[in-house]
Amino acid sequence: MRVIIESTPEAASRRAAQMVARLVRQKPVCTLGLATGGTPLKLYGELIRMHQEEGLDFSRVTTFNLDEYVGLPPSHEQSYRYFMQKNLFDHINVDVRNTNVPDGRALDFEKYGERYEQLIEDAGGIELQVLGIGTDGHIAFNEPGSSLGSRTRLKTLAPETVRDNARFFGSEKAVPKLAITMGVGTILESRRCLLLAFGENKAEAIAATVEGPVTAQVTASALQLHREVVVVLDEAAASKLARREYYEEVENAHRMLETGKLPWIEEA
């Protein structure tokens, strides 16, 4: 994993947006995996700005979202389709026909999960998957104990997730207890992953994900097995990392490589 630590969520979100924009510019026909929740909001805001002020073109991009609550129609203010329309799709030139959010009203979730997987495959797979992380270390709605080889399926939300999401619904009682979600195995098949985390309440989960053992109890830890993962954090989310100094050295090396200034070569 490449770990990038920025001073604030805003700076970290700008850094992440630059990575997404670089892919879209280099490969206009690409497939993005997208996340919902509070973490990616500033990332999406920066992508909107890039589209409106810099001409970042999403017209040939296809998107797949990670998950959706069961039972919520797309028009519901807490559905993830509504979230994506309000916070990204309505403000860029993406073709809505190329945006995919799981259907929480599917009648046969097993068949629907298989269909969603096929849609991803038919699109050529996900080039870059944006991820957030729960306070218990889950990605998408792959709660602790989920199979690390799991596919898109129905999932029961853990009490921690219900509590975390109650702020959006007004109470824990109002939070749906079921969701349809991409599996860990599905996520690991994306070509690149971009994991974002901000705030001290995510610090323990990030430390377990980056530096702990690979375990189904922290499903984000499976990202250690992925070939290309970038973790972008603010200072608070990085506060419990034991090898922070090394991660900063890695970033310094990347910057030197990008500028072509390698002092050990000059000294030689």
Please count the other Cβ atoms lying within 10 Å of the Cβ belonging to residue 161.
21
Mind listing the domains of the chain with CATH numbers? 2-267 (3.40.50.1360)
Catalytic residue numbers read: 67, 136, 138, 143
Q: What is the mean pLDDT of the chain?
A: 95
- Sorting pLDDT into bands at 50, 70 and 90, what band is 255? confident
Taking only the tens place, the pLDDT of each residue in 36-61 is 999 999 999 999 999 999 999 999 99
The pLDDT of 239-250, averaged and rounded, is 94
Would the pLDDT of 263 be above 90? Answer: no
Statement: the pTM of the whole predicted model exceeds 0.85: yes
Would the pLDDT of 34 be above 80? Answer: yes
Q: What is the pLDDT of residue 266?
A: 62
Q: What is the pLDDT of residue 253?
A: 87
Q: What is the pLDDT of residue 252?
A: 86
Residue pair 123/98 in contact (Cβ under 8 Å)? The answer is: no
- Sorting pLDDT into bands at 50, 70 and 90, what band is 125? very high
Q: Which residues pair with 32 in a beta bridge?
A: 63, 128
Residue pair 185/149 in contact (Cβ under 8 Å)? The answer is: yes
Q: What is the pLDDT of residue 87?
A: 98
Q: What is the pLDDT of residue 49?
A: 98
Taking only the tens place, the pLDDT of each residue in 89-111 is 999 999 999 999 999 999 899 99
Distance (Å, whole) CA 78 – CA 124: 30
Give residue for tokens 């009490």: 159
Residue pair 224/15 in contact (Cβ under 8 Å)? The answer is: no
- Sorting pLDDT into bands at 50, 70 and 90, what band is 267? low
Q: What is the pLDDT of residue 259?
A: 75
Q: What is the pLDDT of residue 77?
A: 95
Taking only the tens place, the pLDDT of each residue in 14-28 is 999 999 999 999 999
- Sorting pLDDT into bands at 50, 70 and 90, what band is 264? low
Least confident range from 46-60, 75-89, 146-160, 243-257: namely 243-257
Taking only the tens place, the pLDDT of each residue in 158-208 is 998 899 889 889 999 999 999 999 999 999 999 999 999 999 999 999 999
Query: Chain centroid to CA 186: how far?
Result: 13
3-state secondary structure the chain: CEEEEECCHHHHHHHHHHHHHHHHHHCCCCEEEECCCCCCHHHHHHHHHHHHHHCCCCCCCEEEECEEECCCCCCCCCCHHHHHHHHCHHHCCCCHHHEECCCCCCCCHHHHHHHHHHHHHHCCCCCEEEECCCCCCCECCECCCCCCCCCCEEEECCHHHHHHHHHHHCCCCCCCCEEEECCHHHHHCCCEEEEEECCHHHHHHHHHHHHCCCECCEHHHHHHHCCCEEEEEECCCCCCCCCHHHHHHHHHHHHHHHHCCCHHHHHC
